[in-house]
Amino acid sequence: METLYSNELFSTRNKRKHKYERGGGGIAKLGEYWWSWSHMHASRLERGKGEAMYLPETLINFEITAHIREAAFVYASTAAGVVYAVTQACSMGALMHCSCDHTKRDRRSDGEWEWGGCGDDVDYGYRKSREFMDARKRKRRGDFTTKLQLHNNEAGRVAVSNYMRKVCKCHGLSGSCTLKTCWKKMPTFREVGNRLKDKFDGAIRVIISNDGKNIIPEGRTIKPPSQSDLVYSDTSPNFCKKNRKVGSLGTQDRECDPDSEGVGGCDLLCCNRGFTKNEVLVKENCKCRFVWCCDVTCETCESTKLVHRCL
């Protein structure tokens, strides 16, 4: 019987810190949003052939050279993460040269509510994302690779800036909501990520136009990519199998769910190779309690769990 320790955390990589400074203000990291959502929630992307694919380590850790749709997703997600992290830092007062967005305070409303509060200054985050992500690439705008990356960067940014939502707070005696104060807030980053995942599913394969100025769909019957679409030019390798050259870890020995029809299901994730079924003993913290002052003590509980892994 195999023993697993579910309460231990193993880091798969040392997260590289990027510093962006301008005029005295600084950001020491680009976006825990990118890491928390993209790596933990949406690094699982499905392929059209009924296979399951996981973003290979090299796509995140190293410079991307292949123009595949997975690379497009990484560029867009990173650009969106920069917008989100900078905008959030502005709203929290963590940066010197920006704060809340107060530009809508003078605009008229319908009389039942008015603009106020601390709105997210997404325009500032958008500009800083362009400066950070696009600066070096803009010097080589005629290059096909550059055009692809700049387009996907922009698709990530508009996935945040084009979907701002109105949030309101009621004012009045006994919660009567006589007047509401409203402000603009970014969508949750999970919403942004899910939107980019949909764009990944519908990514458009493109080529360079004859004059070398634009990217156009490879097929004549396919609509030209919009600002929010992801684009790519190369066919993705088979990520079901381990391949060090492309950075794929494969799906062998991945834990799967036999009852799921989604990307985490054994049929998709195991690429039709089959899977094993084992009972394992799981040890985890339980019955935790706070001890004054200042400690938390827990007991160790054991339970059996049925684990399915890909062959």
Q: Are 50 and 268 in contact (CB under 8 A)?
A: yes
Average pLDDT, the chain: 77
Least confident of 55-69, 179-193, 245-259: 55-69
Q: Is 79 helix (H, G, I), strand (E, B) or coil?
A: helix
Contact present, 151 and 165 (Cβ < 8 Å): no
Q: Among 19-23, 29-33, 60-64, 283-287, where is mean pLDDT lowest?
A: 19-23
Up-side HSE of residue 198: CA atoms within 13 Å toward CB?
7
pLDDT at 274 over 70: yes
pLDDT tens figures, 219-263: 888 889 999 999 999 888 888 888 887 777 888 999 999 998 877
Q: What is the structure's pLDDT at 186? A: 93
Tell me what pLDDT residue 176 has. Answer: 72
CA atoms of 230 and 252, how far apart (whole Å): 29
Position 142 confidence tier, pLDDT thresholds 50, 70, 90: low
All structural domains of the chain, each given as residue ranges with its CATH number in brackets, are 12-250 (no CATH), 251-311 (3.30.2460.20)
For residue 293, the model assigns a pLDDT of 75
- Cα 278 to the chain's mean position, in Å? 33
Distance, CA of 118 to CA of 98 (rounded, Å): 12
pLDDT value at residue 191:
93
For residue 26, what pLDDT is reported? 39
pLDDT in tens, 144-176: 888 999 999 999 999 999 999 988 888 777 667
Contacts of 39 (CB under 8 A, 6+ apart): 60
DSSP 8-state assignment for residue 36: I
